[in-house]
Amino acid sequence: MRIYRTISLTVFTAGLLFCGLANAEDLPSASATDASAADQAGGGNAAPPSNLQTDITIYPWLPGIHGTLNGFGQNVYYRASLSDLVNHSGLAINGVYGLKYKRFVFIGDFSYAPLSANKSHVFNSLPNQPFVNATLKYTQFVLDPEVGFRMLDGKRLKVDALIGYRFWHNGITLNVQEPVNYQHFYVQNNWADLVLGARIVYALTPKLEAQIWGDGGGFGAAAQLDYNMVGALTYKIKPRWSFNVGWRYLFVDYNPHFISNSIAESGLVFGSTIHLSGRQ
């Protein structure tokens, strides 16, 4: 049951991961060219472009999950649809903070997703009709900070090389209420995986760009394999506001002690990005 809840709905979340650090740059107009020439001649006072860009994205992620649980010689396959997870989800919070200074980049993604389920049973055939009530609460928190360097910084094509880690926290609370007894259980599991990745951004038009972001790691230090893939489109609605939509796939193969599990989670992501600085 603990492994079944390891990857929950949230959501990253969408979206995803739309830092928007590499939005398409508008082509200069004739008047802008003239103004630049005048400034070089000493007749203008234009401010130089800022080297610092910062963005914040808030997003939901709407995934389904499937995977296998292996332990003590048993192999169990399970699947949960989006509607299954929505019926048991609480208030999820997901976001991305992006920063770029010259060619150095930073992406900080986080996801908080709680799930809960309650089951009650009354033994009507027994005297005094005794009952049992059980409440299960699952909390997942994932933090994914990555730093990198912009290897290619063209007008339309941008490529970033990234390195970071993905930290996982999984907590499970079980409360069991009986007529004359109450039991409370809590367990948690935390680990972090080194990840290496890249991000490619291509400007389709001055207002629309396509983005692919992927990373992978684990290498047996914590998880055996831990990788994430995102494909997204970003549309600039206003100079400091963009809308993002895409698809995310997350996989983890975690093997602690006598139990191992492989979980794949994928679904639609969408969100809104606010460009705090470095945008015109």
What domains can you pick out in the chain, each with its CATH number? 47-277 (2.40.128.90)
pTM of the predicted model as reported, rounded to 2 decimal places:
0.72
- Residue 2 has a pLDDT of 34
197 touches 213 (CB < 8 A): yes
CA distance 135 to 133: 7
- Residue 229 has a pLDDT of 93
Which residues have CB under 8 Å from 85's CB, separation 6+? 8, 9, 63, 64, 65, 115
Whether the bond into 13 is cis, omega within 30 of 0:
yes
- In angstroms, the Cα distances linking 101 to 6, 105, 118, 181, 212 are 35, 6, 48, 59, 21
The full 3-state SS of 100-159, as one line of letters, equals EECCEEEEEEEEEEEEEEEEEEECCCCCCCCEEEEEEEEEEEEEEEEEEEEEEECCCEEE
CA distance 135 to 117: 6
Q: Which residue in 228, 230, 227, 265 sits closest to 245, CA to CA?
A: 230
- Residue 69 has a pLDDT of 66
- pLDDT tens for the chain, residues 1 to 280: 333 333 333 333 333 333 333 333 333 444 444 444 444 444 445 445 578 999 999 998 888 888 886 655 566 676 777 777 777 677 778 899 999 999 999 999 998 888 777 777 666 666 666 667 788 787 888 899 999 999 999 999 999 999 999 998 878 788 888 777 888 888 787 889 999 999 999 999 999 999 999 999 998 888 889 999 999 999 999 999 999 999 999 898 887 765 567 888 889 999 999 999 875 4
Structure tokens at 277: 């600085």
